C-alpha cells in the first residue's frame, strides 16, 4: 500500500467582540460575542495543501496571496471558505464590506502559518476513503423538485499505527442554519461536525469542505434571510442537530484504502458578467423604499444595499472575471475545487463523471475566490435571488452569464 506524508494544523482566528459580520444584508450591526471559534485549518498531503477558513467568502487575490506565501508550489494550494454566514466580514467590497484590514492581514498570515505547520509536522500516512450513508440535512431552497446532493464523502489520513491524523468531510449545504438575527460569531453546523468527529478520534483534526451549495440549505427560502426575526428551525440547537446527524454518518462510514500518486492541477477560465437587466428601471424604486420611514429595518437595509450598488455602477458594460478551478488527487481521492457558489447539479454531474474510476470524489465550491452564484443554465429560467439579485450584494455589475457553471465543469473535466 502506497504511503504519503500528511500533516495538519489549526489556528484560532476569532476576532474581538464588535467585529463586523457578513452573510446577511439585513444584519447591520457588529458581533456581540462568539458562540464557537472561528478557525483556519490546513491539511497537507505530500506537496499539496487545502486551507479551510470559517468565513462566508474570500477574495481571489487573498487566496492567491496565501498560495504564494507558502513554501509549496502555489498551484498546489487551495484556499477554501466554509461559507458560514455567522462569520466576520472577510471580503473587501463584497458581501457587505466592513472587513477589518488588520484582521484580514492576520488571517492571511494565519493561513500561511497553518500550511507551514502542517508541512512541518507531516509524517508517513495512508489514505482511506469512502462515502458515508446519505443524510437528510440539505434541501433545495429554490424549488421543491430541485436537485439535492446528499452524498457525504469522507477521507481519513492515518498514521502507521492506524490512528487518524486528519478527517476530511464534505457536504453540499449552506452553513446558514443561523439567521440574520444572530450576532454571535459561529462556524454554524460545520463547526458541530468537526467537534463531534474530533471527539471520536482523539488527536485528529477534522476539515470541512462545503460542496456545491448555491441552491441548498436546511429548509428555508433565500428570502427568509431578509429578516431580523428569529426563524423557525434556525437556532444553535438546530445547528447542533444538523451537524450531529452529519457527524454520526461520518463516524459510521465504511472506508477503504486508496492508492495512487498525489498530483495537483489548475486551470484559468474567463467568465462573462452580464449587465443587470433591472438596473435602469428599478433604481428609483429602490431609493424610494430605502427612504420610506415606515419600511422595516431589514427591507431598508436591503434597498440601501441595492442603492449603493446602483451608485457604484452608474454606467456599466458587460465584463469578465477570471476563475480558477482545480483538481487534487490523493491517490483514489479526487478533490475538485470551484470558485463562487456553484449550484447542486454541478456537483452531482462532476461526481458522476469522476466516480467512473475507483475511489471517491469531493466537489468543493467557495475555493480560491467567491465572487457570487454560479447557477446551472436551466436555473436561469426560474429567476430568483441567486440568479437576478445576489450580484448586488457581491458587488459585481451583474450576474454571471448562463453557461458559466458548465464552462467551469468542462475545464475541471479536461484537467
Domain boundaries, the chain: 4-266+321-414, 277-315
pLDDT confidence of 222, banded at 50, 70, 90?
A: confident
Helices (H), 88-235: 101-120, 189-200
pLDDT band for 1, please (50, 70, 90 cuts): low
Q: How confident is the model at residue 293 (pLDDT cuts 50, 70, 90)?
A: confident
pLDDT per residue over 354-381, tens digit each? 999 999 999 999 999 999 999 999 999 9
- Predicted confidence (pLDDT) at residue 316 exceeds the cutoff of 80: no
Complete DSSP assignment for 291-353: T-TTS-HHHHHHHHHHHHHHHHTSS---EEEEEEEEEEEETTEEEEE--SEE-HHHHHHHHHH
Residue 213 CB partners (closer than 8 Å, separation 6+):
83, 138, 172, 173, 174, 341, 344, 365
301 vs 290: CA distance, rounded Å: 7
For the segment 73-106, what is each residue's pLDDT rounded down to a tens digit? 999 999 999 999 999 999 988 887 789 999 999 9
Look up cell 424549488; give the residue.
143
Instruction: Give the integer Cα–Cα distance in Å for 238 and 125.
Output: 36
Nearest to 5 by CA among 168, 123, 112, 103: 123
Q: How many helices (DSSP H) and strands (DSSP E) are in the chain?
A: 10, 21
Distance CA 42, CA 206 (A): 10
User: What's the sign of the alpha-carbon dihedral 197, 199, 201, 203?
Assistant: positive
Per the prediction, the chain carries an average pLDDT of 94
- The span from the CA of 196 to the CA of 244, in Å, is 7
pTM: 0.96
Q: Which helix (H) or strand (E) holds 385?
A: helix 385-388
Lowest mean per-residue pLDDT among 161-165, 225-229, 345-349: 225-229
- Contacts (Cβ under 8 Å, ≥6 apart) of 250: 132, 152, 154, 167, 169, 193, 197
Per-residue pLDDT band for 314 (boundaries 50, 70, 90) equals low
DSSP 3-state assignment of 254?
coil
pLDDT category at 220 given cuts 50, 70, 90 is confident
What is the distance between the alpha carbons of residues 99 and 82, in angstroms, rounded to a whole number? 17
Any bridge partners for residue 360, and if so which?
333
Amino acid at each position: 500500500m502506497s504511503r504519503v506524508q500528511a500533516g495538519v494544523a489549526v489556528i484560532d482566528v476569532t476576532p474581538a467582540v464588535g467585529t463586523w459580520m457578513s452573510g446577511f444584508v439585513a444584519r447591520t450591526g457588529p458581533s456581540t460575542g462568539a458562540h464557537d471559534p472561528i478557525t483556519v485549518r490546513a491539511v497537507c498531503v505530500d506537496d499539496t495543501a487545502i486551507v479551510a477558513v470559517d468565513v462566508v467568502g474570500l477574495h481571489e487575490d487573498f487566496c492567491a496571496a496565501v498560495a504564494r506565501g507558502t513554501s509549496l508550489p502555489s498551484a498546489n494550494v487551495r484556499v477554501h471558505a466554509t461559507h458560514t454566514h455567522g462569520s466576520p466580514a472577510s471580503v473587501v467590497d463584497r458581501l457587505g464590506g466592513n472587513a477589518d484590514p488588520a484582521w484580514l492581514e492576520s488571517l492571511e498570515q494565519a493561513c500561511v502559518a497553518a500550511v507551514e505547520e502542517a508541512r512541518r509536522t507531516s509524517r508517513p500516512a495512508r489514505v482511506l476513503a469512502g462515502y458515508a450513508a446519505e443524510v437528510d440535512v440539505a434541501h433545495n431552497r429554490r424549488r421543491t423538485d430541485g436537485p439535492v446532493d446528499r452524498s457525504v464523502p469522507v477521507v481519513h489520513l492515518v498514521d502507521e499505527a492506524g490512528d487518524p491524523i486528519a478527517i476530511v468531510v464534505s457536504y453540499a449545504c449552506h452553513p446558514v442554519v443561523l439567521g440574520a438575527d444572530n450576532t454571535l460569531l459561529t462556524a454554524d453546523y460545520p463547526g458541530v461536525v468537526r467537534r463531534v468527529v474530533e471527539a471520536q478520534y482523539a488527536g485528529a483534526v477534522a476539515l470541512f469542505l462545503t460542496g456545491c451549495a448555491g441552491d441548498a440549505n436546511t429548509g428555508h427560502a433565500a428570502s427568509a434571510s431578509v429578516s431580523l426575526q428569529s426563524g423557525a428551525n434556525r437556532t444553535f440547537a438546530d445547528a447542533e442537530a444538523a451537524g450531529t446527524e452529519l457527524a454520526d454518518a461520518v463516524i459510521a462510514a465504511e472506508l477503504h484504502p486508496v492508492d495512487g500518486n498525489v498530483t495537483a492541477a489548475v486551470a484559468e477560465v474567463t467568465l462573462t458578467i452580464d449587465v443587470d437587466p433591472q438596473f435602469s428601471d428599478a433604481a428609483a424604486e429602490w431609493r424610494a423604499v430605502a427612504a420610506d420611514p415606515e419600511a422595516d429595518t431589514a427591507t431598508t437595509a436591503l434597498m440601501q444595499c441595492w442603492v449603493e450598488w446602483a451608485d457604484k455602477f452608474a454606467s456599466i458594460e458587460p465584463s469578465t472575471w477570471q476563475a480558477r478551478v482545480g483538481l487534487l488527487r490523493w491517490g483514489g481521492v479526487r478533490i475538485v475545487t470551484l470558485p463562487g457558489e456553484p449550484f447542486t447539479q454541478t456537483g452531482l454531474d462532476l461526481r458522476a463523471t469522476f466516480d467512473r474510476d475507483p475511489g471517491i470524489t469531493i466537489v468543493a465550491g467557495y475555493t480560491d475566490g467567491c465572487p457570487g452564484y454560479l447557477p446551472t443554465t436551466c436555473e436561469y429560467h426560474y429567476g430568483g435571488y441567486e440568479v437576478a439579485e445576489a450580484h448586488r450584494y457581491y458587488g459585481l455589475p451583474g450576474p454571471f452569464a448562463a453557461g458559466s457553471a458548465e464552462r467551469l465543469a468542462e475545464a475541471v473535466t479536461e484537467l
